Amino acid sequence: MLEVGIIGLPNVGKSTLFNALTRAHASVSNYPFCTIEPNEAIVAVPDLRPYELARLVGQERVVPATFKFVDIAGLVRNAHKGEGLGNQFLSHIRGVDALVQVVRCFTDPTVIHVETTVDPVRDAEIVELELTMADLELVERRWQRVSKVAQSTGDPDAKAEATALAKARAHLNAGQPLRTSDLTKEERERLKPYQLLTLKPMLLVGNVDETAESHEIFAHLQTWASERGLMALPINAKLAAELAELSESDAAELVELYGDEAKALERLIRAAFSLLDVVVFFTPVGKEVTAWVVPRGTPVVKAAGKIHSDMEAGFIRAEVVAFERLKEAGSWDAAKEKGWVEIKGKDYEVRDGDVIVIRFQPPQRR
């Protein structure tokens, strides 16, 4: 399952945001390193399409698309050297697919700040530097090893890997995260097994409060993020967590009062999901409509394997129609009559919103 890590300095509201997202009641306390082991929760992607599809094709149940949020312990200056819970933090974060960095923009003086003052740009730069330095240490070690192999053996794969590592090393040495580098697609693929932190897509969340001052502070973070090609969203994590505890009817009454803030979590979930660069396709099988998540560019035969290995092994063809066209047609049979249901071979790349029926030959069981 794809994972998004929630990161940031201690006491910036990571666990509060996690609670709001998941209603999982992760511990929240006013001291650093309250979160030691990462909290994990599976979150459904806000998407009405599978529910509309279920009505169209007469299915009884819907299994929505999901991904995992992981709330990871806060890091401090020199985390890459093991300060605070640095080593543990970095080991947890390497396994996630994308990052959401929570940055403090709220002004409550009763909540301790590890850097003593509220300055979101400084805080974001601390986190970015720690991730960059951690990547540099890993790349440096690997480059020294691979470059020796490439020089002594002349192995073309080792040479190509050494070249990619050298390019990454130079960029990191300049204090720049790898997401801003000019690494080619092939070079990025060669570096992928290292799970480099600054190659992961990242979204910034400015944790604001109700005050105008807090939103002015967030504006500085937003400018900093924009200059680096990053998205920054303002979210009142405390308010969002309180709203998440209410019943649906009580929460609905507050939506008008709080306006956009009441919908902030939905925007965050959508934005975090989009970081993963995936597509969602749907299968109406039996009594269920299921939403499946696969990386963009996935061949339909591999997507079939996600449903069941027998489907990949015995794949014959896929019958595919875009959700919007199926919705326009009103039914699967009507879409077929209009010629909108297409037959696709195993190399067809699944697109977001595809409704797919896999035809396959079940293997012979002995």
Q: Which residue has the higher pLDDT, 320 or 67?
A: 320
DSSP 83: -
Give the tens place of pLDDT for each residue, 74-116.
Answer: 665 665 555 444 455 666 788 899 999 999 999 888 887 777 7
153 confidence band (pLDDT: 50, 70, 90):
confident
What pLDDT is recorded for position 33? 37
pTM above 0.85, yes or no: no
Cα–Cα distance measured from residue 129 to residue 75, given in angstroms and rounded to the nearest whole number? 11
Same fold, 3-275 and 297-360: no
Query: At the fourth CATH level, which superfamily is domain 3-275?
Result: P-loop containing nucleotide triphosphate hydrolases (3.40.50.300)
Residue 170: CB partners within 8 Å, gap ≥ 6? Answer: none
Q: Is residue 129 packed enough to be buried (19+ CB in 10 Å), middle (13-18) or exposed (0-12)?
A: middle
DSSP 199: G
Cα–Cα distance measured from residue 223 to residue 53, given in angstroms and rounded to the nearest whole number? 40
The domain locations on the chain are 3-275, 297-360
Report phi then psi at 359, rounded to 5. -100, 130
Q: Is residue 212 packed enough to be buried (19+ CB in 10 Å), middle (13-18) or exposed (0-12)?
A: exposed
CATH class as words, domain 297-360: alpha beta
Share of the chain above pLDDT 90, in %: 54
Cα–Cα distance measured from residue 249 to residue 109, given in angstroms and rounded to the nearest whole number? 34
DSSP 267: H
Residue 351 has pLDDT above 80, yes or no: yes
